Amino acid sequence: MTEVSERAGAFFGRRKGKKLRAGQDELVQTLLPAVRVVPDSPLADQFPNHRSRETWLEIGFGGGEHLAAQARTHRDINIVGCEPFVNGMAKLLAVIEHERLDNVRVWDDDVTDLLPALPEGSFDRVYILYPDPWPKRRQRKRRLVSDETLEGLARVMRPGAELRFASDIDDYIGWVLARALRSRHFRWTATRADDWRRPYEGWPGTRYEAKAIREGRVPSYLTFVRV
């Protein structure tokens, strides 16, 4: 199904691909409601055993490889993952169940609907990794990163929190830089070329990134700090 919203940064594209296997469908029906973020409720209360900890957000986690790697490596961090694509959500739910990742909560709809419902200063780090670049000029209004989205993220990020953005599309990198640099809420941390050419410390990579590198595209890794 295609999202018809015209809001800047709103979700566009398919919400479901191939038919879910029986086990995946069961997880969507049973586990998803138990780990879904409850809007208008403090995030700390949704991690009952881990209230006084950092909380990270990943927007558009795809198949969940990066989010799961971070969750298992940082069991002392609470992580919220947003992904409207049900097949990707089902993959992550299987990992959550199998590895008992009780430090993960999810949102299976448009992140631009969730952000306004969250308390200010909810997150210590935000990841946006390899989002759909919508390369055609007429499609660019569909890109996730927009002035409006950055305003929404700034509200839910604590001062000093990091926004990490990775892409292999040069045009999108420039697009994000232009919008982040003109925002009064964010400061780009780079001081030399290697600061955006090298992956983040402890970077587990993603399947999309591996494909991009095989096809000869060069990823960039941007880091902005909430001021």
Indicate which residues carry an active-site annotation: 132
What span, in angstroms and rounded, lies between the C-alpha atoms of 190 and 170?
17
What span, in angstroms and rounded, lies between the C-alpha atoms of 130 and 135?
13
Q: Which amino acid is at 25?
A: D
What span, in angstroms and rounded, lies between the C-alpha atoms of 160 and 158?
6
Residues 6+ apart with CB under 8 A from 51: 44, 45
Question: What is the edge-to-edge ordering of all strands in the sheet holding 55-59?
Answer: 104-107, 78-82, 55-59, 123-129, 157-167, 220-226, 186-188
What span, in angstroms and rounded, lies between the C-alpha atoms of 133 and 75?
32
Query: Is-contact 79 55, C-beta < 8 A?
Result: yes
What span, in angstroms and rounded, lies between the C-alpha atoms of 149 and 142?
11
Query: Is-contact 156 122, C-beta < 8 A?
Result: yes
